[in-house]
Chains A and B, each alone.
Chain A
């Protein structure tokens, strides 16, 4: 039965680790906005496209 003491200790440590991770993420503002990031990721494809074609961009800006 003494193994239980060790296991309980580990289980609480692990759970405490998750709690700490949760508190950290709240503190970092990860829960402040739960809508915009879901939209933002849709723009990623477009960003890659334009970084590869930088030449017309500079031409346009001189206009």
Chain B
């Protein structure tokens, strides 16, 4: 919420004598220093109210655990906001368990960010006695609440959460979390079982290693072997089941994936071991066989540890309100948004979202489309105007008539596009061609061994061929990729780039074209630079401007008012004030007539031609003093990032939904040879990406608004830029924190380096395989050699790729 200001006149800065005071609750700078309790300043009444509530309930420990932990209070929301939670059908979808005395419900609260949040959310029962228990899962950003329906209601609990700043994210779509956790548990069971069996088999195999197979008491040896056999059964049928299923699925689609040779090696290892043990010929290779499975499972678990609290697949339904108030024959009624139909009359209140394209029937609309376009200035609409879905009403209550159903609206039509129906083809990973060569090479070596021994010594055919297949297990190949990518995902995450999965790294390494959205991506959403040009202003004139702009509800006025640090004590009395919607206002401040507004409004003909809609002119006492222009603030470091990407032979494009007022500024950053496209609709953005791809480009798209959703989905890698990673972002392959956009070139470079790391470790594991195979083809692979070689190669490769990828990241400054 910081605003940055640059002034040409130094007097603006000189006048801000007072040291900025930070809000005790949320940490924002307080414009108004008059709100205070016991020496604690608050930025607004909302934050003060939250503090008072916590203070009453002895919860002020909240402020001791972390400094300024609070989320800026949005003030009092209208009581009807959560009215839809009284609807029985909606409630049933959210409730996990219900009885007469208790209801269990789980909410997703993406705003939670520190230990104070956990403290407050787990002490809800002290504010609302109806809440019996609340438990936070910080990683999932969820709170599990048990409350007594006789004492409180679901709606009241949600209203309390919203009041203290933790408004739950409620969507009827997101019910998959529960499934994910049971899936993870299954994975952990498998690892646990494999680890237990592997270590016990290893221990029972020691006598075999040290005596080189010549144990005096054969009964002891037999017993150990049979125990090993028993221990290996759950590994084969339970732990390794996924590998067999994946291999089988690949084969059925006539595709030799990496799991096929692994499954083959496991089958051969276990079959030969069982044959040896049951026939009493030897001890087999069960230690190596279970070891393979154990390491493989660990590798996969490591790679799949993704960001549970992020959702990468949201569609428009997750953003839209669940309930809507319909007016029928003069009576208001809450219905689920899915039942909304054409010609319905709906009521939209302050801060509520428009659920479908509609025509304004009553009231003055001030629509904030920042959610759709990323543009942070609200647009004023008048009776009869068309309002698109996705906008947020700022101000008073309005009444709308729906002209299109939610699913057919302008912004949601994007989702009817094919790319949302057929999900992006998961690019075949580049370890797959490797694995195919590897499998072919392996099979030919096995065939060569078979032919050689069938000529020389037929009794050695079976041991030699099976040894080849056992020792050359491509698991080290697979481990190198999974651990490299697992570690890279972690390093990206540390730098606030959250990837959906490991295949995004491979796609990122192939990028040669980068497309940027302007607003919200290259510029900061919550920052604006205010410039003043014209005659120098006196202190009194500034006080007048601050006074009058505070009266106006127009967003530009608010920005200008906040930019003048003349102090609130110097506010003057306004004698008259008349605002002309969308144009400007006339005011009388202590006998001084003031008129501010657009060039056309103040009749400053000289400026009309260059007016881009973001300038506010000032006329005092009929003299034109100058103009304030509000500009987007570009992110720091963007220019360096752009230059670096250009040097690495990538093509750059900028697509903006806005007009071309920023053309010259963008040219300064991107140079003259970068194509800049303005006034792009969401569909045009998508089509543009498509046309680039038809020319053979691998496109990376960075965007933030819902209007980029199609383009993000279409491009090879779509990165959603989010000012605050807790906020919701459109469906994408990755989510990037806004402050880290300038690191983009490092991210791409690191992904490219990842490919080299994987290749280097492939070579290393092939060296191991050559050593192992040289034993195997001769038919002299003892269980001892296998037992040393297998874990040694796996562990050394894991260490190699982890250290190497961390080292490269360190070098790149990530």
Q: A residues within 8 A CB of B196?
A: 15-16, 18-19
The complex places the Cα of A27 from the Cα of B204 at a distance, in Å, of 29
Say if the beta carbon of B217 comes within 8 Å of chain A: yes
Tell me the minimal C-beta distance from B57 to chain A in angstroms: 7
Say if the beta carbon of B136 comes within 8 Å of chain A: yes
Mark out the residues of chain B between 769 and 788 whose CB falls within 8 Å of any chain A CB in the assembled complex. Answer: none
- Interface SS majority for chain B: helix
Q: Which of A31, A34, A56 sits near B58, CB closer than 8 Å? A: A56
- B65 pairs with A15, CB closer than 8 A: no
- How many chain B residues sit at the interface, stated as a range, is 20 to 34
- Of all A-B residue pairs in the complex, the 6 with the closest CB atoms, nearest first, are A36-B138, A19-B196, A33-B137, A39-B115, A60-B56, A46-B61
Q: List 16 A-B contacts (CB under 8 A).
A: A5-B223, A8-B224, A19-B193, A26-B185, A32-B181, A32-B185, A33-B137, A35-B139, A39-B118, A39-B119, A43-B118, A43-B122, A46-B61, A56-B58, A57-B58, A63-B56
- A8 pairs with B56, CB closer than 8 A: no
Given contacts A26-B188, A57-B126, A60-B58, 5 further A-B contacts (CB under 8 A): A31-B188, A36-B139, A39-B115, A40-B136, A63-B56
Number of cross-chain contacts by CB at 8 Å:
74
The chain A residues found within 8 Å of chain B, CB to CB, are: 1, 4-5, 8, 11-12, 15-16, 18-19, 22-23, 26-27, 29, 31-36, 39-40, 42-43, 46, 50, 56-57, 60-61, 63
Say if the beta carbon of B220 comes within 8 Å of chain A: yes
Residue from A5, A23, A32, A34 whose CB has the most chain B CB atoms within 10 Å: A32
- A12 pairs with B227, CB closer than 8 A: yes
Q: A residues within 8 A CB of B6?
A: none
- B56 pairs with A36, CB closer than 8 A: no
The complex places the Cα of A16 from the Cα of B200 at a distance, in Å, of 10
Q: A residues within 8 A CB of B336?
A: none
- A4 pairs with B220, CB closer than 8 A: yes
- A32 pairs with B137, CB closer than 8 A: yes
Tell me the minimal C-beta distance from A39 to chain B in angstroms: 5
The complex places the Cα of A1 from the Cα of B219 at a distance, in Å, of 11
Assuming the contacts A15-B196, A22-B192, A40-B122, asked whether A35 and B138 have C-beta atoms less than 8 A apart, the reply is yes
Q: B residues within 8 A CB of A32?
A: 137, 181, 184-185
Interface residues as binary, B182-209 with A (CB distance below 8 Å gives 1, 0 otherwise): 0011001100110010011001100000
The complex places the Cα of A42 from the Cα of B220 at a distance, in Å, of 53
Assuming the contacts A35-B139, A43-B122, asked whether A1 and B220 have C-beta atoms less than 8 A apart, the reply is yes
The complex places the Cα of A57 from the Cα of B203 at a distance, in Å, of 61
Task: Using CB atoms, name the residue of chain A closest to B129.
Answer: A61
- A33 pairs with B227, CB closer than 8 A: no
Assuming the contacts A19-B192, A27-B185, A63-B56, asked whether A40 and B118 have C-beta atoms less than 8 A apart, the reply is yes
Q: B residues within 8 A CB of A56?
A: 58
Tell me the minimal C-beta distance from A42 to chain B in angstroms: 7
Tell me the minimal C-beta distance from A57 to chain B in angstroms: 6
Say if the beta carbon of B140 comes within 8 Å of chain A: yes
Q: A residues within 8 A CB of B61?
A: 43, 46
Tell me the minimal C-beta distance from A7 to chain B in angstroms: 12
Q: B residues within 8 A CB of A27?
A: 185
Interface residues as binary, B131-174 with A (CB distance below 8 Å gives 1, 0 otherwise): 00000111110000000000000000000000000000000000
